[in-house]
């Protein structure tokens, strides 16, 4: 909005409150004045002089603004919104009547612009900055420069072409997720211009281009939504960000390609790191933080070596880079928390600086909490962070110190889609590269969980990662006994049948075909000399008891009952634990039956069972809801109560013989 150089010279000194800055605006809409004497060769235009033009205290004094706002609402509806006297050298002055409106748009903008500084501060820092009265005046002075061309800096009202250009975040155009079918011609034209402006901003190998997770979709929305892009110039004028941060962020956003962005970062790496850290930690407004974190994440994704800039700056400050961002993980906004988590993983994995044990334990605890959280919409992002972290062997050990593997299996047992299944199994596959961890995996029930998924899943990527995990377990374990037990667990999960079906398909993937051939050979070799007791041990260790022939075979129990004492009563302890913890009716029935058979065929079995609290576990099942569980528990209790099975057998035979003698 530009104005001609026609000042109103008849104003008295009172009318120059703001250095004639608003001398061509009549904010008191009911006033009329005579200005004819200011222009030669013009006729006198008469105005009502009964009122004086008021000072523009409304802009400075907020209390007056509130008072005068009542008058504005009650003002005459037929007034001139803007009094401009046109001067023509060839024609006489003519009075120009401007159509009045129901409310003064200009007055509204002036009143609204008064609170620009306050609004900007609230948006960016949520009231962290308290501006004094003197500072407010200084800010107003900077906002209203002494210029006749732009009396009010309303960018959307200026004729400047630069201000009319669409504000588009400098990101790759292909990342825009816009439904063009519902756009009108004007919006299509605007988006075409925006795409041309940002087409040079390439982000190589960014997995957000083919976004599927909720975080990736929301991040793309942040890039495309121009309303979320902060007005850094406004924040600089408001003294909400220092000049150094403004110089960096504005230059980085203006860069059109990777080379230019590298130049901005390498110009002063310390200043760049300091600016990003300050913007992330000092800004309180969620909308602005979303934009900054998305920019930060893309910065690291575009070039992994950029993490060294931040690690180098942190070392100079004698801190770790993660120490600045711990508080961000505790924010309420789920997008901010998960985007920060993604940045954590990149900072921990992309460079050579490893996360320290204390911070690593805290971060893994955070990820596992996110993994266990019910209805977590960002669980794919959590799994993605774990995928990155567990590629580093030093991080694998710390992950397994807690309940890392158990948490992964719990998530797999839940309602996981095939994509989440793949990500979580990828984590197990990464862990299996460590021989020590691989030997522990078979003790956690992971093989059984993967076997169930393998028998139900038809997705090739999931099948491939399961076979790769099984192969790692068999290859990396040094202990031959543990290796054999792992192979037997795979056999019990009917992996051999799945391998036969997969081998018949002849996949084009050579790695998958090699894994199938390797597993088939190993599993067939493991069952060549498999005894009935080996089969029983494998079944008990898996925790998945079934009515296989060995359970009801008297010959098996006569020959092998005492062998349940091997390895410090390992099998007995597993059976008792199943009685205490399992919710499966079939498992409870079989376990109670086996406890009874052990006591029946091993003379000292009763004392050993009582020593491990097995008798109490069986008796608790007498009150179970399922009648089959109560029945087998009752049989086991009877066997525990009888001291001499041979005497009981003879007594029963004699009673039957007596019943058979006919009465005389």
> Six-digit token pair at 548?
């296989």
Quick: pLDDT tens for 268-316.
Answer: 999 999 999 999 998 888 899 999 999 999 999 999 999 999 999 999 9
Distances in Å between the Cα of 634 and the Cα atoms of 411, 444, 557, 620, 621 are 36, 31, 20, 10, 8
pLDDT of residue 653: 59
**Which of 95-109, 206-220, 369-383 holds the top average pLDDT?**
369-383
Mean pLDDT of 449-457: 89
- Regarding predicted confidence, which is higher, 34 or 649? 649
Other CB atoms within a 10 A radius of the CB of residue 610 amount to 13
Q: Which pLDDT band holds residue 212 (cuts at 50, 70, 90)?
A: low
What CA–CA distance (Å, rounded) separates 345 from 133? 45
Quick: pLDDT tens for 348-379.
Answer: 999 889 999 999 999 999 999 999 988 889 99
DSSP, residue by residue, 227-272: GGS--HHHHHHTTSS-HHHHHHHHHHHH--SHHHHHHHHHHSHHHH
What is the reported pTM? 0.60
pLDDT of residue 409: 92
pLDDT of residue 483: 86
Quick: pLDDT tens for 627-647.
Answer: 999 999 999 998 888 755 554
Kindly tell me if the per-residue pLDDT of 341 is higher than 70: yes
pLDDT of residue 642: 75
Torsion of CA 295, 301, 302, 304, to 10 degrees: 130
Are 293 and 340 spatial neighbours (Cβ–Cβ below 8 Å)? Answer: yes
Kindly tell me if the per-residue pLDDT of 31 is higher than 90: no
Q: Which pLDDT band holds residue 96 (cuts at 50, 70, 90)?
A: very low
Kindly tell me if the per-residue pLDDT of 335 is higher than 80: yes
Kindly tell me if the per-residue pLDDT of 76 is higher than 70: no
Q: Which pLDDT band holds residue 338 (cuts at 50, 70, 90)?
A: very high
Mapping DSSP onto H, E and C, the string for 106-138 reads HHHHHHHHHCHHHHHHHHHHCCCCCCCHHHHHH
Q: Which pLDDT band holds residue 344 (cuts at 50, 70, 90)?
A: very high
- Regarding predicted confidence, which is higher, 27 or 330? 330
Name the helix (H) or strand (E) containing 522.
helix 510-526
> In the chain, what percentage of residues exceed pLDDT 90?
36
pLDDT of residue 141: 44
Positive or negative CA dihedral for 408, 411, 412, 418?
A: negative
Q: Which domains does the chain have, with CATH numbers?
A: 13-114 (no CATH), 168-175+198-348 (no CATH), 354-527 (1.25.10.10), 540-660 (1.25.40.150)
Are 483 and 474 spatial neighbours (Cβ–Cβ below 8 Å)? Answer: yes
Q: Can you give the length of the chain in residues? A: 664
- Among 114-118, 155-159, 443-447, 490-494, name the one with the lowest average pLDDT: 155-159
pLDDT of residue 657: 59
Q: Which pLDDT band holds residue 655 (cuts at 50, 70, 90)?
A: low
Kindly tell me if the per-residue pLDDT of 574 is higher than 80: yes
pLDDT of residue 541: 84
Average pLDDT over the chain reads 73
- How crowded is the C-beta side of 539, counted as CA atoms within 13 Å? 18
Kindly tell me if the per-residue pLDDT of 333 is higher than 60: yes
Other CB atoms within a 10 A radius of the CB of residue 175 amount to 22
Contacts of 203 (CB under 8 A, 6+ apart): 171, 172, 175, 209, 298, 301, 302
pLDDT of residue 644: 52
What CA–CA distance (Å, rounded) separates 428 from 418? 15
pLDDT of residue 649: 52
**Which of 155-169, 238-252, 478-492 holds the top average pLDDT?**
238-252
pLDDT of residue 485: 85
Are 274 and 324 spatial neighbours (Cβ–Cβ below 8 Å)? Answer: no
- Regarding predicted confidence, which is higher, 452 or 77? 452
Contacts of 250 (CB under 8 A, 6+ apart): 232, 233
Q: Give which of 452, 455, 405 is closest to 428, Cα–Cα.
A: 405
């Amino acid at each position: 909005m530009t104005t001609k150089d026609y000042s109103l010279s008849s104003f008295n000194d009172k009318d120059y409150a703001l250095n004639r800055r608003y001398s061509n605006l009549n904010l008191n809409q009911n006033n009329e004045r005579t200005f004819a004497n200011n222009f030669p060769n013009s006729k006198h235009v008469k105005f009502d002089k009964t009122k004086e033009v008021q000072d523009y205290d409304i802009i400075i004094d907020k209390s007056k603004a509130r008072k005068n706002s009542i008058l504005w609402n009650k003002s005459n509806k037929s007034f001139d919104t803007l009094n401009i006297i046109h001067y023509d050298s060839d024609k006489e002055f003519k009075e120009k009547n401007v159509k009045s409106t129901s409310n003064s748009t200009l007055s509204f903008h002036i009143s609204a612009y008064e609170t620009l500084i306050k609004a900007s501060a609230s948006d960016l820092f949520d009231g962290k900055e308290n501006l004094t009265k003197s500072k407010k005046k200084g800010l107003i002075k900077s906002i209203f420069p002494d210029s006749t061309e732009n009396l009010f800096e309303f960018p959307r009202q200026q004729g400047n072409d630069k201000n009319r250009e669409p504000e588009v975040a400098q990101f790759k155009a292909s990342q825009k997720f816009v439904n063009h079918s519902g756009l009108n011609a004007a919006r299509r034209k605007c988006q075409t211009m925006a795409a041309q402006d940002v087409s040079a901003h390439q982000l190589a190998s960014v997995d957000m281009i083919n976004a599927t997770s909720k975080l990736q979709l929301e991040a793309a929305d942040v890039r495309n939504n121009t309303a979320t892009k902060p007005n850094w110039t406004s924040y600089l004028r408001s003294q909400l960000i220092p000049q150094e941060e403004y110089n960096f962020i504005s230059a980085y956003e203006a860069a059109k390609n990777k080379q230019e962005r590298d130049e901005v970062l390498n110009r002063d790496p310390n200043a760049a790191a300091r600016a990003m850290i300050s913007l992330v930690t000092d800004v309180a407004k969620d909308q602005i933080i979303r934009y900054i974190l998305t920019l930060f994440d893309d910065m690291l994704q575009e070039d992994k070596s950029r993490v060294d800039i931040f690690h180098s700056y942190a070392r100079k400050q004698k801190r770790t880079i993660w120490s600045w961002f711990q508080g961000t993980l505790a924010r309420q906004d789920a997008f901010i928390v998960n985007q920060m988590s993604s940045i954590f993983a990149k900072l921990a994995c992309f460079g050579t600086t490893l996360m320290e044990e204390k911070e690593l334990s805290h971060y893994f605890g955070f990820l596992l909490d996110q993994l266990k959280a019910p209805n977590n919409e960002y669980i794919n992002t959590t799994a993605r962070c774990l995928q990155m972290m567990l590629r580093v062997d030093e991080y694998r050990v710390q992950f397994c110190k807690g309940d890392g593997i158990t948490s992964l299996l719990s998530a797999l047992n839940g309602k996981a889609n095939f994509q989440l299944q793949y990500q979580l199994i990828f984590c197990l596959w990464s862990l299996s590269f460590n021989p020590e961890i691989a030997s522990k995996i078979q003790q956690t029930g992971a093989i059984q969980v993967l076997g169930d998924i393998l028998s139900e899943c038809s997705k090739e990527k999931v099948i491939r990662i399961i076979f790769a995990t099984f192969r790692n377990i068999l290859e990396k374990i040094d202990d031959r006994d543990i290796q054999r037990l792992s192979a037997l667990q795979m056999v019990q999960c009917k992996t051999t049948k799945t391998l036969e079906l997969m081998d018949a398909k002849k996949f084009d993937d050579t790695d998958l075909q090699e894994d199938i051939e390797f597993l088939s050979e190993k599993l067939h070799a493991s069952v060549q000399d498999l005894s009935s007791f080996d089969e029983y041990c494998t079944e008990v260790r898996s925790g998945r008891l079934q009515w296989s022939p060995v359970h009801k075979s008297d010959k098996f129990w006569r020959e092998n009952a005492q062998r349940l004492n091997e390895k410090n009563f390992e099998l007995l302890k597993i059976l008792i634990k199943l009685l205490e913890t399992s919710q499966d009716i079939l498992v409870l029935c079989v376990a109670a039956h086996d406890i009874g058979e052990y006591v029946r065929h091993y003379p000292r079995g009763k004392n050993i069972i009582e020593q491990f609290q097995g008798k109490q576990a069986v008796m608790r099942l007498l009150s179970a809801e399922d009648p089959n569980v109560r029945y087998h528990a009752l049989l086991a209790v009877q066997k525990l109560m009888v001291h001499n099975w041979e005497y009981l057998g003879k007594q029963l035979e004699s009673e039957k013989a007596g019943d058979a003698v006919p009465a005389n």
